[in-house]
Chains A and B, each alone.
Chain A
Amino acid sequence: MSDNRGLLLFVSLLGAVVVVAALATGSALLSPETTATDGPTFAERLLRVVSLRDPNTRFVLLGTLLLGTTAGIVGTFMLLRRQALVGDVVSHAALPGVAVAFIVGELIAPGSGRDLKWLLCGAALAGLASVVCVNLIRRFSRINPDAILATVLGVFFGFGAVMFKVVQQMKTGGQAGLNHFILGSAATITPDDIRLIASAGLVVLVLCLLLFKEMKLLCFDEGFAIAEGWPVFMLDITLTGLVVAVTVIGLKSVGILMVALLITPPTAARFWTENLGKMIGIAAGIGGVSAVLGSLASALFDKLAGGPTIVLTGTMFFLISLMFGTERGIVCRWLRHRKTQRRIGRADLLRAMFEIIESRVNGDGVQNVERLTTEAVEHADLVSKRSWTAHRVNQIVSRGVHEGIVRMDSERGWRLTHSGAREASRAVRNHRMWELYLITQADIAPSHVDRDADFIEHVLEPELIEQLELLLAKRDEQSVIPPSPHPIGKQGE
């Protein structure tokens, strides 16, 4: 089943990433290379970055790759659970957590406030606190969810900004590094960070795999999940916990823009697929690749902060997906729309010609394909037959000539080709079957049928046509083309 294949693909991809990460971390730790930074040229730097000669670059790439992949997976569920902005709240709320943790740490034991684990604990607690606030307000008030999110975000971020000011005025050293938590600094990723990110990524992967169908149900139909006895509250907490975890571990390298790394990849992935498993795989891929490209760019140009670069790269993927996504991209939709319009134009032309000929040769003549090809139809006939402009007739007919369903008659307009005549018979038959079906089945007045039939005919599935053919064969056995249930030639007026 395609669902499983997508999942398998993404599992193996992520497994490979994790293994490579572990190996690289190990080898990097065993053979630390020294790096000379005596003003290399751009070309040298490019070579150095791309060849991954610098262990630091390797750390950075691995770390951000894992981070992007993990964020893409969690972000997909979050996006589908309609909680995209919760990630935003969490990442902003993490800031006061970092600052307060630093202050408390310095007060307890000077120097300990700088410890990364300690800071991240503060960030996680504050992030969770913000989610709890959001949920409490939602439960006990009737404020709009987006207003709640905006309020909580503002409060926490404002508090964080004040706390950062306090931190800067403290007499202890080491507060400079805290600024990384705002814009992120991918270049400072250490092997420790990678181990943290890799283990978190592994936990996320395992949980998402185990809870794939449970999360799918939660995101699609919460009411049904509750009625079925699934612990929706616990599942939600798990999902929120994953979001907080991913946000917090990404805070140092990507900063508060983590939310973009969570949400942009799945949003982009949605343009390429209608399948959840594949969507997760693509989101993980886009997240990973944009994280890698972003941090490469950041490593090449020292002045570029890691977080914004990664986010901008992700945005680039989003724009590409928006335009060219194979399922929902703008270009694909436009192409599909044009194709449909052409098909409609073609069927309309054939039907119009058939009916014009039918009104001339009345009777059995139209049952004969040969007879259909001998009659010429003029421009004026077509204009008066349907509510087309002269220009539209020219357009449709020239396309018809190009496609070989009609051909120019030397003197008077156009004639159907053999293939065109056969198709015209089919189209008319199809159309009239629908008319009959609607009249017999749906209690629609005959004078209203044509417009509706025009529409339905163009969206009809082949399997439904088969059913109709059976239905009509039962009703009327000898008729190849059932007679039109309303007077022909009036619909254009």
Chain B
Amino acid sequence: MLESTTQTAAVPAEEHPASSPLSIHDMTVAYHRKPVLWDIDYNAPPGRLIAIVGPNGAGKSTLIKAVLNLVPTVSGSVRIFGQTYRKQREQVGYVPQRSSVDWDFPINALEVVTMGLYRRIGWFRPVTRKYRQKAMRALVRVGMQDFAMRQISQLSGGQQQRVFLARALAQESDLYLMDEPFAGVDAATEHAIVAVLRELKDAGRTALVVHHDLQTVPEYFDEVLLLNMRLIAQGPVSEVFTPENLRATYGGKLALLDQVGHRMTMSGDAR
């Protein structure tokens, strides 16, 4: 049934091309006894903005977490620019779901952003002015410079999301993995995130973004990865983002497609 719609080419002779920012080969992930992702084969093209789209529970967040070694894989392998994640950590910036942390924590926005620089600062060393300035520049890029000293619980949801984005920007990576950065944000934040994504693309970087709003996929992204436990289809938005592929991805929930633009429920697929 999927044969006709699947754009996934046969795995190339070279399983993990070094040119690909993210190359996944034959990856299967399971939580407890239940598999969440089956046989994922994917090579991300460099310098593109890629949306990961699929229904709740399709394993979108899991895909990102598996790449980052946050959840164990049952089988398969993942390479970042041809190397294991362990060796390429500096190349990867991560924007977790906003709900994954306690926003009541006693720190301000700037301190959160400096966390993206901790690895560069290294063990035991305190955060110096140089790094705080770096973090500040990242905050400027997301338009949050005026809120640098504000305690994070006093920020709106969209502002919190921008702080997370700034933390990833401070990492200055070549590959960005973002877990629902657009979930529940205001219009200003959405514009800011889109602007940052375009900046990243112009600088030749790659971003994989878990995205819920089907309507904005063609506008914001170059490529799309349709996921529902399996990789349904992947490729340029113009070729892959078709009603047939979406039907294959969303199956019985196709009614949702008629209401694109209405944001779908976000809960449920965090785990």
Write the residues of chain A forming the contact surface with B, with a CB cutoff of 8 angstroms. Answer: 1, 3-4, 80, 82, 142, 210-214, 216-217, 219-221, 223-224, 226-230, 270, 273-276, 279, 441-442, 461, 463
Contact = CB atoms under 8 A, between A and B. Distances in A.
Contacts, number: 80
B107 A275 contact: yes
A4 B128 CA distance: 10
Contacts of B123: 214
| Size range of the chain B interface in the assembly | 20 to 34
B121 A221 contact: no
Nearest to B104: A270
Contacts of A273: 106
Q: Give the secondary structure class of B's interface.
A: mixed
A221 B101 contact: yes
B108 interface: yes
Nearest to B168: A224
A213 B135 CA distance: 15
A3 B111 contact: yes
B81 interface: no
13 contacts: A1-B132, A80-B106, A213-B126, A220-B101, A226-B68, A226-B70, A227-B68, A227-B69, A227-B70, A274-B107, A276-B107, A441-B187, A442-B187
Interface stretch (B39-47, B112-120, B210-218, B225-233): B112-120
Interface string B52-96: 000000000000010011100000000000000010010010101
A80 B105 contact: yes
A142 B68 CA distance: 24
Nearest to B64: A227
Contacts of B112: 220
Contact of A276 (B106, B119, B124, B126): B106
A216 B187 contact: no
Interface in B170-215: 186-188
A184 to B, nearest CB: 30
Given A217-B115, A276-B105, 4 more contacts: A80-B105, A224-B94, A227-B68, A274-B107
A3 B127 CA distance: 10
Contacts of A463: 146
Given A221-B101, A227-B68, A211 B124 contact: yes
B151 interface: yes
Contacts of A274: 106-108, 151
A216 B96 contact: no
Contacts of B106: 80, 270, 273-276, 279
A274 B152 CA distance: 9
A220 B187 contact: no
Given A220-B102, A220-B112, A229-B86, A213 B118 contact: yes
Interface string B239-263: 0000000000000000000000000
B115 A224 contact: yes
Nearest to A275: B106
A234 to B, nearest CB: 11
A259 B119 CA distance: 33
A220 B102 CA distance: 7
B100 A223 contact: yes
B70 A228 contact: no
A1 B65 CA distance: 35
Given A223-B70, A227-B70, A229-B89, A212 B115 contact: no
A219 B65 CA distance: 19
Contacts of A221: 96, 100-101, 115
A275 to B, nearest CB: 6
Contacts of A220: 101-102, 105, 107, 112, 115
B187 A226 contact: no
Contacts of A210: 124
Contacts of A279: 106
Contact of A228 (B119, B146, B151, B188): B119
